[in-house]
């Protein structure tokens, strides 16, 4: 049969990205990260939309060019429908719709969280079904049972902040630029994770809570800086290692609980925070101890990218799961 050539566009937050996939093989994956947000300590939605507007044409052109594909060869165009920032989603969505209409090809609307998980299917080894995935990003913290590429069930999630947000907000308290997660990771490598204790907030069942940690950290920093104004400068690695350790412990604890409750030994992590080296090492060690099959994404597929949108679109294309041209972005899209 004829091969399926798809273009995928991701614009849910602060990465403008486009990818081309042919029969499930990613041929290009261009990611342009917006730098305007660094000094604001978080993503500024209006600035994100504007940067997407500016970047989307060159990013799409480059993705097509690197894949050696003409627009006229495309069989469908996919975009991130949600969840994400409304104005940001609308840029990618409107662009994808226009292309689908101009080329008279189907449109595919992809769920961003589902795509983070299916990033595991871009390359081998691929997890077998069912598996349990801990999806950890700047906007979400979820425990998901993955029954098949398009059938996923959320069994636990955060009741307040996402774990990526906890990384970024504690980093902001330390005066680090956005996104602070990768910086905490870097400092933590040189520090002692047992140097400081932060109280763990207990949450029912398989749900998470991270807003208490952020407040506890703020109070801790205020108290220490009052005693010694150079506290932060002197102890950055230990502080970062300790806060990172606390966040990882919360994640691993619930992951173990979920694996046990649902009797699943095939365990994956996904999303931006799955790039964290402490979490990756900890999961690997836990897996060895428990006889789990552990799946950790390549770094380039942890944070937002269009390759993961493309692989999800590939499965939707096979299932003829298309989106009408009247569809719109959904900032709170669920599975
Ligand atoms: O998946 P993602 O790129 O965007 C969302 O869908 O939210 O995740 C971004 C989040 C940010 O909070 C960022 O700080 C965090 O992932 N992150 C990390 C690391 N790399 C990215 N957090 C901790 N350690 C890292 N190495
Ligand atoms: Zn994401």
**Domain chopping of the chain, boundaries:** 5-117+302-318, 127-297
pLDDT tens digit sequence for 22-33: 999 999 999 999
Specify the pLDDT at position 121: 98
Cβ < 5 A residues, ion ligand 2: 137, 304
Which residue's alpha carbon is at the smallest distance from atom 1 of ligand 1?
272
Ligand 1 pocket, residue 295 CB under 6 Å: no
- Concatenating the DSSP letter of every residue in 21-79 gives EETTEEEEEEEEE--TTGGGTS--HHHHHHHHHHHHHHHHHHHHHHHT--GGG-SEEEE
Q: Which CATH number fits domain 127-297: 3.30.930.10, 2.60.40.10, 3.40.50.300, 3.30.420.40?
A: 3.30.420.40
Q: How far apart are CA 81 and CA 112, in angstroms?
A: 7
Compute, in angstroms, the gap from residue 271 CA to the centroid of ligand 1: 7
DSSP three-state, residue 278: helix
Alpha carbons 335 and 330: distance in angstroms, whole number:
12
Whether 5-117+302-318 and 127-297 share one fold: the answer is yes
Q: Which phi-psi region, left, alpha or beta, contains residue 225 (left: φ > 0; alpha: ψ -120 to 50)?
A: alpha
* Of 111-120, 193-202, 310-319, minimum mean pLDDT range: 193-202
Residues 6+ apart with CB under 8 A from 124: none
Q: Which residues contact 185 (CB under 8 A, 6 or more apart)?
A: 240, 244, 275, 276, 277, 278
The response to whether residue 14 sits with its C-beta less than 6 Å from ligand 1 reads: no
Ligand 1 pocket check for 273: Cβ under 6 Å: yes
In angstroms, what is the span from residue 234 Cα to ligand 2's centroid? 33
Q: How far apart, in whole angstroms, are the C-alpha atoms of residue 299 and residue 185? A: 13
Query: Which phi-psi region, left, alpha or beta, contains residue 271 (left: φ > 0; alpha: ψ -120 to 50)?
Result: left
Query: Quick one: what percent of the chain has pLDDT higher than 70?
Result: 100
Does residue 167 have its Cβ closer than 6 Å to ligand 1?
A: yes
Q: Which two tokens stand for residue 162?
A: 């996402």
Nearest Cα to Cα of residue 215 among 183, 248, 165, 170? 170
Cα(88)–Cα(26) distance, integer angstroms: 24
ipTM over 0.95: yes
Q: Could you identify the atom of ligand 1 that is nearest to the CA of residue 179? A: 14
Of the pLDDT bands very low, low, confident and very high (cuts 50, 70, 90), residue 120 is very high
How many CB atoms neighbour CB 278 within 10 A? 18
By CB atoms closer than 10 A (0-12, 13-18, 19+), residue 279 is buried
Q: Does the annotation list 139 as a binding residue?
A: yes
1 has a pLDDT exceeding 80? no
- 168 annotated ligand-binding residue: yes
Is 235 annotated as ligand-binding? no
Q: How many A from CA of 137 to the centre of ligand 1? A: 5
Q: Which pair of tokens denotes residue 311?
A: 């692989």
Closest listed residue to residue 251, CA positions, set 167, 127, 148 = 167
User: Is 293 marked as a binding-site residue?
Assistant: no
pTM of the model: 0.97
Angle of the 231-262 helix axis to the 277-290 helix axis, nearest 10: 40
Homologous superfamily assigned to 5-117+302-318: ATPase, nucleotide binding domain (3.30.420.40)
**In ligand 1, which atom is closest to the CA atom of 84?**
6
Q: Give the tens place of pLDDT for each residue, 193-216.
A: 999 999 888 898 999 999 999 999
Q: Is the CB of 82 under 6 A from ligand 1?
A: no
DSSP codes, 208-275: B--HHHHHHHHHHHHHHHHH-TTHHHHHHHHHHHHHHHHHHHHHHHHHHHHHHHHT--EEEEESGGGG
If you average pLDDT over every residue of the chain, what do you get? 97
| 109: CB partners within 8 A, 6+ apart | 78, 79, 81, 93, 323, 327
- 169 CA distance to ligand 2 centroid (A)? 17
């Amino acid at each position: 049969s004829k091969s399926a050539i798809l273009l995928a566009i991701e614009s849910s937050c602060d990465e403008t990205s486009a990818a081309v996939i042919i029969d499930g093989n990613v041929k290009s994956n261009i990611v342009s990260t917006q730098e305007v947000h660094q000094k604001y300590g978080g993503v500024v939605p209006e600035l994100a939309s504007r940067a997407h507007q500016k970047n989307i044409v060159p990013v799409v052109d480059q993705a097509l060019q690197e894949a050696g594909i003409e627009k006229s060869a495309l069989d469908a165009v996919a975009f991130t429908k949600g969840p994400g920032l409304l104005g940001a989603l609308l840029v990618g969505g409107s662009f994808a719709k226009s292309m689908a209409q101009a080329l008279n090809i189907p449109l595919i609307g992809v769920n961003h969280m589902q795509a983070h998980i299916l990033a595991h299917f871009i390359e081998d080894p691929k997890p077998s079904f069912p598996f349990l995935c801990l999806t950890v990003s700047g906007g979400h913290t979820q425990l998901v049972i993955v029954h098949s590429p398009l059938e996923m069930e959320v069994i636990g999630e955060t009741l307040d902040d996402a774990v990526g947000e906890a990384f970024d907000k504690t980093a902001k308290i330390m005066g680090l630029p956005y996104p602070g997660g990768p910086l905490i990771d870097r400092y933590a490598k040189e520090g002692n994770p047992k140097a400081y204790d932060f109280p763990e907030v207990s949450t029912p069942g398989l749900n998470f809570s991270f807003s208490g940690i952020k407040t506890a950290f703020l109070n801790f920093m205020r108290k220490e800086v009052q005693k010694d104004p150079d506290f932060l400068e002197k102890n950055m690695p230990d502080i970062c290692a300790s806060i990172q350790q606390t966040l990882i412990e919360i994640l691993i604890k619930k992951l173990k609980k979920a694996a046990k409750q649902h009797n699943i030994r095939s365990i994956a992590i996904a999303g931006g925070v799955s790039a964290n080296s402490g979490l990756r090492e900890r999961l690997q060690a836990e897996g060895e101890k428990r006889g789990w099959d552990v799946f950790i994404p390549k770094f380039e597929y942890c944070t937002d990218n269009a390759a993961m949108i493309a692989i999800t679109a590939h499965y939707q294309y096979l299932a003829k799961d298309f989106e009408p041209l009247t569809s719109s972005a959904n900032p709170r899209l669920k599975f």
